[in-house]
Chain A
């Protein structure tokens, strides 16, 4: 399964040798592996998988730049088409249609009455000369236009989209993500430092306690966590989302494992120079564990940005405290027919995380692969 299925070197004429040359993948001469059927199967599996991953996301993106009418009609053409309108003297702004009378001669018209099997139309030049044509002979006159208003309306609160407080949601999301990540980094690094560089009574107990928290799923303590958060007076505020999730067992472990590789001599040398323990932590440990810290930072950003259930419980009653995820849920719930807005806001929500991913993809995948747990 894991070995490419190579052919032995086949004897044969020039054709055979040519095929062998063309399908060779690596190595040279005799040791070359043929591009066998296993490779074909592997690549088709991968391509198929990537299609399944990407097509829904790309489809969402392409829909989000289509004009409202095209989205409402569930038009499945890939590009955003919108019908060209024209200001017609004495009539007003009308959509333009192409009328084909069957002889191949095309005429620009607008509809002068309701759409029936025989529709009344007129040309923009002679708006008063109304004539009836069969409905099937009319084709919309279209141009490709990116519907920026799908994005701008909710963000700028135009066209009746006052209920989507984009700026507030974005601020809340960024606030939660940034503050929670900073707190997480700081206190997890402190705990990791203590567990990796000090020998003290209770070290094993603390380590076991942290392992135990790994095995307690968040959703089984929902109800009582609600009581605790409520009695601390942070229920309904962003701090109610930030604080409970700030200490992560994954983070402590990741940093502890990394800090174990920092030589003790460095710390001893600093102690010789009468540096305080806090300064050692800040000036030596933190700079040296930057790789691990950045992995944790990325993980924390992803977790906090995508968080849903706990913010839903804590923040749902106060619209001014909604995060982007909650705002989007409410938005999709209230106006579930305005797909063009919903999809545009969906794209806005997935964009930051996608950019982070494209930028740091190698770092993230190797980071998670080496630290393992979530």
Chain B
């Protein structure tokens, strides 16, 4: 038995035996009061403190276990981290570790060009690869997740039926463990998994549809009808166009632009993004109540009609045969990274949605009533009431999700293992592998990495707090 083990046993014995003796001498218990005795025994140190030092000593005794654990297992390691990062070797006995000064940091900063991990020595290469991957991940994932969480919270906060059900459904993945999540998505994203199967089926169905005679005409006519109805709906109201219908119109416009592919006339790609930009611009015009909105919608409708006539639907929907994608394994496609972002959002979004929902519900309803009285446009109500009032909560959510996604490990480790190559190799995985899976663990190196990571997280957090210093309530 180790030293700590025998100490613990001794302490336990002293607690139980000493407590029993002390309690039985100072108090009387009837045989039916076993439960009361047990509970007094559990709090024996507190009782003893009270009888020795009076009531003033009690709070310290109450705080002791909690603070001891914080001190030993959070603050002490925090400080110890600096010490370990200045020592070398693979010994796990602290006093036997030789002092090496700044060597471990030197290994990390051994690069010729810090933006190019390839130019570093081994330790630096791993560290900077992990760092840049993690930074990319954070920069991409945090805004996406926060906006999706905010959007979902706003939708759930509407006057909808079954709010509890929707809220619970979106929160459910938060309850699942990373291992379960990884197994589920591994199965879905397998090369022969259900996603590839579905895409294959969808492609086949579209190809078959496109092969039908008269498909072109039917598509053109039905889309023309839809376009007409949506445009009419958007422009129906005498005062100003409807935002929601403009949204629907924007979706159709985006699709039409993507299919008509007008940029291909100039030999460029990316028509979809052009369409998306056009659609968003239109929605923004309508939502912010610009006077040009009506004209813009009519212009866009005309443009859409022209594009609609130019589309050969039978060629657009003839997608050729679908080749199953090995989502998590194929290098240089960006898919592994994409799915990491997706799965991470999938599994964490619900939590942030709940916090934002609480923030939204704290906004007084009267404000919206008043805005409605003044015939305020929804977009204006959003930017002038919802957004400013939910900003404190949003700041907390951004900081929490930032800290969280900086530490991403479980999902990556279980889904891709950092691969393919080093495409999804994250910084915590670097720390974990250097310290715990290498045949000759380099704790100093890992600790140095941890210290640097802590510094980067601190910079990000305080930067964020400083940027939003007026709204934050953290």
Interface residues of A (CB under 8 A from B): 1-5, 26, 36-39, 41-43, 45-46, 49-50, 52-54, 56-57, 59-60, 63, 74, 76, 187-188, 190-191, 193-195, 198, 200, 203, 206, 209-210, 213, 215-234, 243-244, 246-247, 249, 252, 276-279, 281-282, 302, 305-309, 313, 325, 328-329, 332, 339, 342-343, 346, 349-350, 353-354, 356-357, 361-362, 364-365, 368-370, 372-374
B328 within 8 A of A: no
Q: Restricting to B347-406, which residues have a CB under 8 Å from any CB of A? A: 351, 354-355, 357-358, 368, 371-372, 378-379, 381-382, 386, 396, 400, 403, 406
Which of these binds chain A: B10-18, B184-192, B257-265, B293-301?
B184-192
Give how many B residues have a beta carbon under 8 Å from the other chain's beta carbons: 115
| A60 with B77: CB separation less than 8 A | no
B256 within 8 A of A: no
Interface residues of B (CB under 8 A from A): 1-5, 39-40, 43, 46-47, 50, 55-56, 58-60, 62-63, 65-67, 69-70, 72-78, 80-81, 83-84, 92-94, 151-152, 154-160, 164, 166-173, 175-180, 183-188, 190, 192-194, 197, 233, 242-245, 247-248, 346, 351, 354-355, 357-358, 368, 371-372, 378-379, 381-382, 386, 396, 400, 403, 406-407, 409-410, 414, 428, 431-432, 435-436, 443, 446-447, 450-451, 453-454, 457, 461
Q: A53-B346, A57-B172, A188-B66 are in contact. List 16 more A-B contacts (CB 8 A).
A: A2-B368, A42-B158, A54-B172, A59-B188, A187-B66, A191-B62, A194-B58, A209-B75, A215-B461, A217-B407, A224-B447, A226-B443, A233-B4, A278-B50, A309-B428, A368-B354
A37 and B315 CA atoms in complex are apart in Å by 32
| B62 with A281: CB separation less than 8 A | yes
Count of A-B contacts judged by CB separation below 8 Å = 314
A148 and B185 CA atoms in complex are apart in Å by 23
The residue in chain A whose Cβ has the minimal distance to the Cβ of B449 is A223
| B55 with A277: CB separation less than 8 A | yes
**Interface hub of B70, B368, B382 (most chain A Cβ within 10 A):** B70
| B443 with A223: CB separation less than 8 A | yes
Residues of A within 8 A of B242 (CB): 5, 37
The residue in chain A whose Cβ has the minimal distance to the Cβ of B39 is A282
| B407 with A218: CB separation less than 8 A | yes
The residue in chain A whose Cβ has the minimal distance to the Cβ of B287 is A1
Residues of B within 8 A of A226 (CB): 92, 435-436, 443
| B169 with A54: CB separation less than 8 A | yes
If A3-B381, A5-B378, A57-B184 touch, whether A223 touches B177 (CB-CB below 8 Å) is no
B357 touches which of A219, A325, A349, A369 (Cβ 8 Å):
A369
- A–B Cβ pairs within 8 angstroms, 6 of them: A53-B170, A74-B192, A224-B77, A244-B69, A357-B168, A370-B358
If A36-B244, A37-B248, A349-B177 touch, whether A50 touches B170 (CB-CB below 8 Å) is yes
| B183 with A213: CB separation less than 8 A | no
If A313-B436, A350-B180 touch, whether A5 touches B77 (CB-CB below 8 Å) is no
Interchain residue pairs A-B with the least CB separation, the first 10: A233-B2, A306-B177, A278-B43, A224-B80, A224-B77, A247-B69, A74-B192, A194-B62, A191-B66, A244-B73
| A26 with B78: CB separation less than 8 A | no
Residues of A within 8 A of B60 (CB): 194, 200
**Interface hub of B168, B243, B431 (most chain A Cβ within 10 A):** B168
If A227-B77, A277-B46 touch, whether A342 touches B183 (CB-CB below 8 Å) is yes
Residues of A within 8 A of B160 (CB): 39, 42-43, 46
| A308 with B47: CB separation less than 8 A | no
If A277-B50, A350-B177 touch, whether A209 touches B67 (CB-CB below 8 Å) is yes
If A41-B247, A213-B74 touch, whether A362 touches B164 (CB-CB below 8 Å) is yes
A54 and B193 CA atoms in complex are apart in Å by 16
Residues of B within 8 A of A372 (CB): 355, 358, 396
Residues of B within 8 A of A278 (CB): 40, 43, 46-47, 50
Residues of B within 8 A of A210 (CB): 70
**Interface hub of B39, B152, B396, B451 (most chain A Cβ within 10 A):** B39
| B194 with A190: CB separation less than 8 A | no
A374 and B354 CA atoms in complex are apart in Å by 12
A217 shortest CB reach to chain B, Å: 5
| A328 with B77: CB separation less than 8 A | no
Residues of B within 8 A of A369 (CB): 354-355, 357-358
Residues of B within 8 A of A216 (CB): 74, 78
If A193-B62, A220-B81, A368-B351 touch, whether A41 touches B178 (CB-CB below 8 Å) is no
| B94 with A227: CB separation less than 8 A | yes
If A26-B159, A374-B351 touch, whether A74 touches B247 (CB-CB below 8 Å) is no
**Interface hub of A38, A190, A221, A343 (most chain B Cβ within 10 A):** A221
